[in-house]
Amino acid sequence: MKNSKIINRVKDALYPILTFLALLVIWQVSVSKMNVPSYILPSPLDIVEEFKKDWPVLLMHSKVTLTETILGLSISVVIALLIGTLMDFIPIVKRCLYPIMYITQMIPTITIAPLLVIWFGFGIKSKVLCVILTCFFPILINFTDGIDSIDRDYLNLFKIMKANKIKTFIHLKFPMSLDKFFTGLKISSTYAFVAATVAEWLGGTAGLGVYMVRAKSSYALDKVFACTILVVAFSLIFVAIIALLKKVFLKKY
């Protein structure tokens, strides 16, 4: 039984990997046979070569974007948990703030980022704020939904046991909302790198977004692709870390 499950998992993993490799081969052959210039569409081998050649520069810019993303995402988690907890303890806060925060999420990041750069400068502050504004709401909405979706029977049981609001939150609401909380965190982790990169596009001295703008301006599309791959890779790593943390915390609670 266990062996069959392992085989099925390997098969499930192999299908997308083999498909991706096949697409890379088609891409490489097509570019080579059609003599497509690298400034229009670089081949996978050109992108790999760019990674090797420009890795120190990519690493330096990656550190900047990673710092902005980790700071912004961490602060987003703290803000979302604080506001979500406050909404649970004081319902009128939810009635006042929730619709406003929902509307703010309809504003595209590309329109917020220039304002943040103008108000807070070209440094790390504007980038971190852009990440926070993009990421905190998915975490908040999933956290509050997790609290609101708790079975009424559990809440009634805690009332019968005369548990106060604090004990009910600590021993019931918070643990049972963790599943949805981590779902929101996983969504936000994919948005975080995009938000940081977009903010860097609009002004900055370092970061993957700055690197991409400079590469695009010089028609070095192999550099643009290399940078894009890094952003995707970092996002996948963050998602994997959050999935691992989810397993650890759900086992604990």
For the cut 80, the answer to whether the pLDDT of residue 169 exceeds it is yes
Residues 138 and 18 in one domain: no
Q: Are residues 8 and 110 in the same domain?
A: no
Percent of the chain exceeding pLDDT 70 equals 93
139 closest CA partner among 183, 193, 196: 183
Domain that holds residue 78: 40-252
Residue at token pair 């779902």 = 183
Q: Which has the closest alpha carbon to 85: 152, 164, 172, 144?
A: 144
Contact 104, 137 (CB under 8 A): yes
> Could you tell me the CATH number of the domain that includes residue 105?
1.10.3720.10
- Which pTM does this prediction carry? 0.83
pLDDT at 221: 82
Query: What's residue 78's pLDDT?
Result: 93
238 and 200 in one domain?
Answer: yes
9 and 54 share one domain: no
Claim to verify: residue 49 and residue 147 sit in the same structural domain: yes
Cβ within 8 Å of residue 179, ≥6 positions away:
146, 246, 250
Q: Give the pLDDT confidence score for residue 74 in this predicted structure.
A: 92
- 89-98, 112-121, 205-214, 219-228: least confident range: 112-121
- CA dist 114 and 121 (Å) reads 10
The reported pLDDT for the residue numbered 31 is: 82
One domain, residues 28 and 46: no
Q: What are the residues whose beta carbons fall under 8 Å from the beta carbon of 54, sequence distance 6 or more? A: 223, 226
Structure confidence at residue 76 as a pLDDT band (50, 70, 90) = very high
Q: Hey, CA dihedral for 173, 98, 77, 91, is it positive or negative?
A: negative
Band (253; pLDDT cuts 50, 70, 90): low
User: From the CB of residue 213, how many other CB atoms can be counted at a distance below 10 Å?
Assistant: 19
Does one domain contain both 123 and 9? no
Secondary structure percentages of the chain, helix, strand, coil, to 5: 85, 0, 15
User: Do 55 and 30 belong together in one domain?
Assistant: no
Q: What angle do CA 139, 143, 138 make, to 5 degrees?
A: 25
By CB neighbour count within 10 A (0-12 exposed, 13-18 middle, 19+ buried), where does 224 fall? Answer: buried
Which structure tokens are listed for 244?
Answer: 């691992």
Tokens for 168?
A: 């009910």
Q: Is the pLDDT of residue 75 over 90?
A: yes
Is residue 3 domain-shared with residue 82, that is, in the same domain?
A: no
Determine the pLDDT at residue 152.
83
- In total, how many domains does the chain have? 2
HSE (side-chain half, CA atoms, 13 Å) at 172: 22
| Both structure tokens of 93 | 């806060």
Interatomic CA distance for residues 90 and 157, integer angstroms: 21
Please tell me whether residue 123 adopts helix, strand or coil conformation.
coil
Domain match, 190 and 229 both: yes
